[in-house]
Structure 1
Amino acid sequence: MFSSSIPSTLTGLHDLLILNLSLNSLSGPLPIDIGKWKAMRRIDFSNNQFSSEIPIGVVDLKELTHFSLSNNRITGSIPESFGDLLSLEYLDLSTNILSGELLKTLEKLRFLKYFNVSFNRLQGEIPDGKSFGNYSIESFKGNEALCGAAQLYVPSCKTKSHRNSKARTKIITYVAPPIACTILFSSHAETGDEENGSEENA
């Protein structure tokens, strides 16, 4: 039943390999200098009340295989640098307040066996390359703005061609009428000139 926040002195323990603080009442931000734990293999901060963004320093944890922040109040987006944590096998970010998109860089995590970002506020297309093709709806449910493959039971993504088609429709809608009016006016003017010329000749 630990409470309060993680003391800054904890990141001074550079040789830590495993840190499990799950199932407590810890709050406040995640350690901003988390990157000092360069030897760390496993971090479990799940089931607490942490409320900051994921520190950028996570990218320095090159030996990390297990990282869990589930059931907290983590905000912001998933750092693009996660794609550089090439040793990662387990990543659980479920039940937080994460937003933004699932970046393609996550496809670089070829050793990743468990991935869960369910019940957040993520949006955009679910990557389908590498290990992402093996995940189920359980990994992504609870994110209403996600789209992707049919087997994930999420809406299909609007294709680029469909978006381009909509863009062309808008162009036709807003550009075509003035052009048509210009052509009509020019045609009318030419007709008027011809009629005036006929009258003068008469």
Structure 2
Amino acid sequence: MAVVAEKTGYPSEMLNLDMGLESDLGIDSIKRVEILSAMRTKAPSLPEVDAGAMANLRTLGQIVGYLREQLGGAAPVAAPVAAPAAPKASAAVDVESLLMAVVAEKTGYPSEMLNLDMGLESDLGIDSIKRVEILSAMRTKAPSLPEVDAGAMANLRTLGQIVGYLREQLGGSAPGGGPCGGCGGSEGDLIGGC
């Protein structure tokens, strides 16, 4: 509950295990992962939560139950909750530059070393929790970015596919962009040079 209170701003004494993540607390999928990531930082023995399983967890109690089950019924675990989404901004977002800056910040890789063909897990070691952390940081810096569905996020394998997906969700494509076979995806128009 402490992490949920910290990440959402809700007083911990107000939180209970029956509260709905979205319905009661306004916690979207990105914020869920951000909370789980913070919990794993504080308790590294916690298991990584599968994106598909996470999408089905609707209450604080379900998250606690899931984590206990994964730990084999071990000691109680703090329940995750997230803050309401930031207000939408109308300014255009340079998705590629923002992604590269956030990935560099979150992974420690120099931004000049990053390219859109890089695999999230295979090249950069970015697991599902870190993906959501990155997307959450991007939404914090550019609130007009859409929320990324957990199922869709699990299918995005390269930096270029993330850029393409976000641009598609924003209703635009990169100037000069077209289908990009180099990214291994068919997620619409990806940026040129991908």
Q: Which has the larger radius of gyration?
A: 1
Q: TM-score range by the shorter chain?
A: under 0.3
The structure with the largest helix share of the pair is 2
The structure with the largest strand share of the pair is 1
TM-score (structure 2 length as normaliser): 0.26
Structure number with the bigger relative contact order (C-alpha 8 A, sep ≥ 6) is: 2
TM-score (structure 1 length as normaliser): 0.25
